[in-house]
């Protein structure tokens, strides 16, 4: 059984490799596809663009939300390619973690010259 922190480390390493190969300036879907490839090469189970229904007044509704990558059914990765991460990006990932009842997510903005400046680790303590 792989722990969330080990998954997180592998995702960050794979994201650095993708960023090193592609650099900033491409579409999110490009980084997503390449990160998916890197993670599957490491033997991790990855689900891409997984539907995330919401429960509203005890009714499950498909509202069009999608998780970019779900790793080992434990860690959500939300990929961005934006000028800068803002609070709503963090809130989006935290909401996804709450809806999926998961503890850890990574928000990765590939549109940074130095990728480490575009990585946020989000923990659901609720």
Band of the pLDDT at 1, cuts 50, 70, 90? low
Q: Rounded to two decimals, what is the model's pTM?
A: 0.95
pLDDT in tens, 11-69: 999 999 999 999 999 999 999 999 999 999 999 999 999 999 998 999 999 999 999 99
Q: How many residues does the chain have?
A: 126
Report pLDDT for 126: 74
Residue-wise pLDDT for 73-89, tens only, equals 999 999 999 999 999 99
**Is pLDDT at 2 greater than 80 in this prediction?**
no
The pLDDT score that the predictor gives to residue 66 is 97
What is the 3-class SS of the chain, one letter each residue?
CCCHHHHHHHHHHHHHHHHHHHCCCCCHHHHHHHHHHHHHHCCCCEEEEEECCEEECCEEECCCCEEEEEECCCEEEEEECCCCCCHHHHHHHHHHHHHHCCCEEEEEECCCCCHHHHEEEEECCC
Domain boundaries, the chain: 4-123
Measured between alpha carbons, how far is 55 from 118 in angstroms, rounded to an integer?
A: 31
Give the pair of three-digit tokens for residue 85: 């991460």
């Amino acid at each position: 059984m792989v722990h969330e922190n080990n998954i997180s480390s592998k995702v960050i390493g794979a994201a650095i490799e993708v960023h090193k190969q592609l650099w900033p300036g491409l579409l999110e879907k490009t980084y997503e596809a390449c990160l998916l490839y890197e993670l599957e090469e490491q033997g991790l189970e990855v689900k891409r663009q997984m539907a995330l229904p919401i429960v509203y007044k005890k009714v499950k509704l498909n509202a069009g939300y999608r998780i970019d990558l779900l790793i080992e059914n434990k860690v959500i990765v939300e990929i961005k390619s934006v000028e800068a991460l803002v609070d709503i990006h963090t809130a989006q990932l935290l909401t996804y973690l709450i809806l999926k009842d998961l503890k850890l997510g990574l928000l990765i903005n590939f549109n940074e010259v130095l990728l480490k400046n575009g990585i946020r680790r989000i923990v659901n303590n609720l």
